[in-house]
Amino acid sequence: MPEELTKKAAEMLLKGATLLSEPCPYCKGVRVMKEGQALCIGCGRQPEKKEVPKPELSKDPTLIEKTFEKKLESLSKELENEKDHEKQQSILKTINSLLETIDKMKGKQ
């Protein structure tokens, strides 16, 4: 395994590349994949370019997250219009627990 390639592969891995499960079609070597580019550590070839769709979780919230967001929106409007301090407190508590729940859900992903 050429040292240069190993070094490059290690750098790629550090920058977020992943090891490919499929071996190199030319030398059966290990390949690393980053931004749709696969580099073979064995022979240094980049035989294919694959478009890997990036997961954009924030732009594709699950249905339950959407529900929470709507709820938050209406709660903040409620808070804006609420003059009673006790009610404001209780709205704030509800918002806080909603946010905590959202955080917990996101932490699980």
Among 26, 62, 97, 103, the residue binding Zn ion under the rule CB under 5 A is 26
Q: What's the min distance (Å) between Cβ of 15 and Zn ion?
A: 21
The residue among 41 and 91 lying less far from Zn ion, judged by its C-beta, is: 41
Among positions 17, 24, 38, 91, the unique one binding Zn ion when judged by CB under 5 A: 24
Q: Which of residues 27-46 bind Zn ion (CB under 5 A)?
A: 27, 29, 40, 42-43
Task: Give whole-number Cα distances, 105 to 62, 93, 98, 99, in Å.
Answer: 10, 18, 11, 10
Give min distance, CB of 50 to Zn ion, in A: 16
**SS3 per residue for 42-63:** CCCCCCCECCCCCCCHHHCCCH
Backbone angles phi, psi at 69, to 5 degrees: -65, -40
Which residues lie below 8 Å from residue 61, measured CB to CB, with a gap of 6+? Answer: 69
Q: How far is the CB of 21 from Zn ion (least distance, A)?
A: 15
In degrees rounded to 5, what are phi and psi of residue 18?
Answer: -120, 155
Judged by beta carbon, residue 3 or residue 60, the one nearer Zn ion is: 3
Q: Where on the chain is the footprint of Zn ion (CB under 5 A)?
A: 24, 26-27, 29, 40, 42-43
